[in-house]
Each structure stands twice: as C-alpha cells, then as structure tokens.
C-alpha cells in the first residue's frame, strides 16, 4: 500500500512547478497539467483543493491561473499532503484512544508514535524551495 496517494504525488509536482514560476505571472491549470503529465480534469480538482487550503491563489481571465500564496521556502510537504489526502497515519492505532483498547499499554504504539512524529517532522522540514534546489532551478 502506498503512503502517498497518486493524487498527492501529482499535487506535489504541481506545487514544485508553481514554485519554479514564483514571482512570475500565474500559471494556468492547462499548462500545469501538460508539463506535469496530469489529466486536465484531475489538475483542476487538485488546484481547487490547494486553493481551498490557502496554499495557492487563483486569478481569473485570459491571463489567469495559479501562483503560490507564500514563498517556496514557507510551504512544506506536510501542508500539501494534508491538503490533498489529510494527515499521514502509519497505523489506525495512532488515530485515537477509541481505536484500540490496548493502546495505553501497547509497546508497539509507543514505537509507532515515535516513527509517526519523525515522519511528520521530516515532511515539515522539506520545503518547495529545497525541492527546487534539487531540481537545479534555484
């Protein structure tokens, strides 16, 4: 099972694309879909979710499209993942005390909680700016 869903992967690619155009004119959904090899319909849905989450801003009209709402260094992977699929959870037992009656005394939960925190911290530490640097665009 994939931890990151296909739509989340596409949204991450779309956001890196927008980060590469930061400070420029808005990028149309059609341009994003073509350059990132995402179907236009799916790109529209993803951009709407990202807009609703406040990660991008949209503008209408012939020169309309999307821009990042903040600088690439201020947007991290955890935020994008959250906007598209919700927060990552390694196991159902980490979702709350009502899920498993043994949760409070379970040694597995302790270790999974540690791992969950490490993953969350790591995803929060990766910014769009960092991804652009790996792409050689900064």
101 versus 46: the higher-pLDDT residue is 46
Could you tell me if residue 121 is inside a domain?
no
| Cα distance between residue 128 and residue 16, in whole Å | 6
Q: What is the 3-state secondary structure (H, E, C) of 53-104?
A: CCCEEEECCCCCEEEECCCHHHCEHHHHHHHHHCCCCCCHHHHCCCCCCCHH
Asked if residue 102 is part of any domain, the answer here is no
Burial group, residue 57, by CB count within 10 angstroms (0-12, 13-18, 19+): middle
- Does residue 38 lie in a domain region? yes
pLDDT number for residue 28: 97
Q: Tell me: the pLDDT tens digits for 54-103?
A: 999 999 888 889 999 999 999 999 999 999 999 888 877 776 667 777 77
Output the pLDDT for position 39.
97
Please name the residues in contact with 129: beta carbons below 8 A apart, sequence gap of 6 or more: 19, 71, 72, 73, 138
DSSP conformation class of 24: S
The verdict on residue 93 lying in a domain is no
Number of structural domains, the chain?
1
| Residue 58 β-bridge partners | 66
Please indicate, yes or no, if residue 107 is contained in any of the structural domains: no
What pLDDT does residue 137 have? 53
pLDDT score at 96:
65
- Supply the range of the domain harboring residue 25: 6-87+127-135
**Residue 54's domain is classified under what CATH number?**
1.10.10.10
């Amino acid at each position: 099972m994939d931890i990151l869903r296909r739509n989340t992967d596409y949204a991450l690619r779309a956001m890196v694309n927008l980060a590469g155009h930061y400070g420029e004119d808005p990028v149309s959904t059609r341009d994003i879909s073509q350059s990132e090899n995402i179907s236009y319909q799916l790109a529209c849905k993803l951009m709407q979710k990202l807009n609703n989450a406040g990660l991008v801003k949209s503008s209408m009209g012939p020169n309309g499209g999307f821009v990042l709402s903040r600088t690439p260094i201020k947007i991290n992977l955890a935020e994008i993942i959250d906007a598209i699929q919700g927060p990552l959870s390694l196991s159902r037992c980490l979702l709350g005390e009502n899920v498993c009656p043994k949760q409070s005394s379970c040694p597995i939960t302790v270790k999974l909680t540690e791992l969950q925190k490490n993953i969350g911290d790591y995803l929060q530490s990766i910014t769009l700016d960092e991804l652009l640097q790996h792409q050689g665009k900064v």
